Amino acid sequence: MIRVITYLIVSIFGILVSFGQIKSEEITIKNDAIELPGTLTFSEENAPLIIWVHGSGVVDRNGNQPNYIQQFREAVNKENIAFFSFDKRTANKNNSKYLKDTKFTDFALDIDVIVNHFKKDKRFTKITLIGHSQGSLIAMLASKNIDKYISLAGAGETIDKTIVKQIGKNNPTLGEAAQQQFDTLKAKGKIETVNPFLISIFAKQNQEFLYEWMQINPTEEIKKITIPTLIINGDKDLQVKIEDAENLKNAKPNAELVIIKNMNHVLKNIEKEEDNLASYYSANFPLSEKLITTIVEFVKK
């Protein structure tokens, strides 16, 4: 009995020491008036650093409800890889008065500022950008001063084609209407009459942002990247298909391509189809272990 108690005490102490080795720093980086508050975590210096580049929407440093970024942070920290994620400019209320005229390329400028900050931090060695979903293209645009690039569930075509496919999958007629709206936007730079069923996409305040975004082709941008590149997609991804990853690979043949079984768009391991959408709203689903091993191997290579 004494031995059992001693073993438990030693085990618990070991776990506490392990957690105690993770250092955490709250850092706010500014791109002019835009505030980008984030969290840096690491277990040791002279380690590689991953900087996370968010997907679309109002995404905080932890990945909102599914908490996938926080789960990712904890997993890579255990492998002695430093990690920085931040509240996207759209997720920080302090930025609200500056967001009206935000362009797609402004997100890349945010990443440029963050990369420059950590280039000056001599505690870390190589910097890897991971661009998730929309962030895949943003990270491509901001990959000038980094060492490695990872596209994670990134589109392999322009955003207008992706949106039309996503809408048309459930409603072909509405998909055709979306194509017509994009054709008008491409030709005129604006849409005077917005289809009421598509107002959430083509509202006036969104049109300039969409217009710039649709001009940037990820299969052209990835060709410009000269650093080691890894392309990852999950076969349970409902938003970005394996063909997207293959398109990126075809555009950059020397990139590494990994398709992960049972991984969905928010990086969770999905065994049952009914859990796919549910995992978007809960942190109770585990992250794909294959994702972590693949990225750790690439970053440390």
pLDDT per position as a tens digit, 79-92:
999 999 999 999 99
pLDDT given for residue 13 in this prediction: 37
pLDDT given for residue 16 in this prediction: 38
pLDDT given for residue 31 in this prediction: 97
Q: Is the pLDDT of residue 9 over 70?
A: no
pLDDT given for residue 18 in this prediction: 42
Tens-digit pLDDT profile for residues 214-242: 999 999 999 999 999 999 999 999 999 99
256 occurs within a structural domain: yes
Q: How many domains does the chain have?
A: 1
pLDDT given for residue 10 in this prediction: 36
29 occurs within a structural domain: yes
Question: Given CA atoms 210, 52, 283, 39 in this order, what sign does their dihedral have?
Answer: negative
Between the alpha carbon of residue 207 and those of residues 101, 154, 238, the distances in Å are 11, 22, 25
255 occurs within a structural domain: yes
The residue-averaged pLDDT of 2-16 equals 39
266 occurs within a structural domain: yes
The residue-averaged pLDDT of 109-132 equals 97
175 occurs within a structural domain: no
The CA distance from 187 to 164, in Å, is: 17
232 occurs within a structural domain: yes
Q: What's the domain range around 260?
A: 25-158+216-300
123 occurs within a structural domain: yes
CATH of the domain at 235: 3.40.50.1820
The residue-averaged pLDDT of 134-149 equals 97
Place of tokens 């970005």: 240
Contacts of 49 (CB under 8 A, 6+ apart): 42, 81, 82, 83, 84, 118, 124, 125, 126, 127, 128
Percent of the chain residues past pLDDT 70, beyond the cut: 93
Place of tokens 């980094």: 146
pLDDT given for residue 89 in this prediction: 97
Q: Which two tokens stand for residue 14?
A: 């070991």
